[in-house]
Amino acid sequence: MIQIRTLIIVFLLSLSNIAISDDLSIFDVQLKLEERGYYGSKSDLTGVIDSNMKVALFKFQRDAGLPLTGQWKGKTKRILSGPVLKLNTQEFGSFQFKDVFYEDKPDGSAVKLVKLACLEAEIDCAIKIFEEWKEAQERVKDNTEDGLFVISWNDGREKWLYKSTVILLTEYGFFVKNDNDLLYKEPKDIKGYQVFAYGPSGTYTSLKGLEKNNREIPITIGETSDNEEAFKSLVKIDSKKVAVYANKHLGETLLRKKGWYKDVRYAGRHKPIQYYIGIRKTKKDVQKILNKLDTAIRKIQSKKVREIFAKYNLDWEIPEISMD
């Protein structure tokens, strides 16, 4: 009987091959993995090295972008030993979306970019994608989660969030029907237009700002429940003086997805947009976290970032960030 038990223990140890640190028990490590959603429930925690623990640790390493070693050491240990930074986002074209073929895991160019920054900073970032942007923001405001990405910046957000350094650059601009010869250069080019934009959002706020600063140039703004509805309105209305105001790359992704390229085209940039990670001001050690993220963003090599963008057929600009 003793020999059988010994063989079982040896088998489990060889199966898992996990190195546990001196300062944490096996149960402590399992508890950290359970708190991050890698176990079904606390009842699954055994306090011994087993196949469930190895699977949980592999999943954590996979989601964090770490090498799949199944070992509790190096970056895996440093990242998992720290607190979780819970970041919310919204489905947003090729930027952020749920991979329906892979357990609905967050995917997309911006998701990959944020994960790369978190990995460099050795921060455990848990990313959640919401269908409703309002809910994503409310859960940060009520301290359930910690931050948002990727976000543009405005006075309203400055009241309750701190921002990272610029993580990427893109642009807002106008989309029109293909039979419209508009090439947008300045506000007077859209005089008399009906312009649709998704709101409430940073995009909608930007369009309202354009209207406010150019009152002598009348435009009619239509607020839609999402970006897809804005483009549907453009296609549906029988008039050349109709446009959609949107993020260029989001709009182009949507046109490809819906097959609307034969009907709609990009007519020109209104303004460049800087995007950030925003963390609530009430988060413990928020400045320390931001300093680590900012340092990590500065260290990300342009080549790696361009590889991420190319995978999603994007050609956005990469912010030139001083290393000083």
Tell me, letter by letter, the H, E, C secondary structure of 151-190: ECCCHHHHCCEEECCCCEEEEEEEEEECCCCCCCCCHHHH
Looking at 59-63, 90-94, 186-190, which range is the least confident one? 90-94
User: CB–CB of 314/94 below 8 Å?
Assistant: yes
pLDDT of residue 169: 83
b/e map 93-105, b = 16+ CB within 10 Å: bbbbbbeeeeeee
Q: How many CA atoms are closer than 13 Å to the CA of 32, on its beta-carbon side?
A: 18
Model confidence, pTM: 0.75
pLDDT (tens digit per residue) in 99-145: 766 666 888 888 988 998 999 999 999 999 998 889 999 999 999 99
Fold agreement (81-169+274-311, 170-273): yes
What's the pLDDT band for 10 if we cut at 50, 70, 90? very low
pLDDT of residue 149: 95
- In this model, does residue 211 exceed pLDDT 90? yes
pLDDT of residue 271: 95
pLDDT (tens digit per residue) in 234-256: 989 988 999 999 999 889 988 98
Percent of the chain with pLDDT over 90: 44
pLDDT of residue 192: 96
Residue in the block written with tokens 């607020």:
223
Q: Over range 265-287, report the average pLDDT.
A: 96
- In this model, does residue 305 exceed pLDDT 70? no
pLDDT of residue 285: 95
pLDDT of residue 207: 96
To which CATH superfamily is domain 81-169+274-311 assigned? Periplasmic binding protein-like II (3.40.190.10)
Mean pLDDT of the chain: 85
C-beta atoms surrounding 299 within 10 Å: 13
Q: Over range 276-292, report the average pLDDT.
A: 96
Q: For the domain bounded by 170-273, which CATH number is listed?
A: 3.40.190.10
Q: Is the dihedral of CA 302, 305, 309, 310 positive or negative?
A: positive
Percent of the chain with pLDDT over 70: 84
pLDDT of residue 20: 54
Domain chopping of the chain, boundaries? 2-79, 81-169+274-311, 170-273
